[in-house]
Amino acid sequence: MHVVRIDAAPAYEAPGHHLMEMRRLQGREASPADTVWLGLSTLAPGGGTTLDGSNVEKIYLVLEGELLLSNGIEEVRLARLDSCRLAPGEARQLRNAGTAPAVVLLVMPLAPAAPATPVPAAVAGTP
């Protein structure tokens, strides 16, 4: 079991993000998670991201407030407890068009672990 208290969750920065406070809740530098990482973002009014894609799936869950989410083709308004999945390579832009902060949980996979390379018996010390 690995607990990360919110006051100890490491803050992080990401390019193309503005008026946002971001914390890593699990994975990467926050914990030894090996399949996904969780981020918690608070978007101030007017805050958001540029329209950009990544090579991994992203899942967003709005915990507080409202959020406009666009993939460059369509835009949806997400309210409290609404979620959205974006496919690998699909662009996304987040925007808080409201007057109150929006709080969003982000779930993203970590890079897959490289398969273990078998050690030849002679190297492992086996005759």
Residue 95 vs residues 2, 31, 57, 92, 127: alpha-carbon distances, Å = 32, 28, 19, 10, 63
| pTM: predicted TM-score of the whole model, two decimal places | 0.84
Residue 29, CB-side half-sphere exposure with 13 Å CA sphere:
8
pLDDT in tens, 51-97: 999 899 999 999 999 999 999 999 999 999 999 999 999 999 999 99
The 8-class DSSP code of residue 7 comes to: G
Q: Please say whether the beta carbons of 48 and 95 come within 8 A.
A: yes
pLDDT at 103 over 60: yes
pLDDT reported for residue 111: 75
Q: How far, in Å, CA of 25 to CA of 61, rounded?
A: 14
Q: What backbone torsions phi and psi does residue 80 show, to the nearest 5 degrees?
A: -50, 125
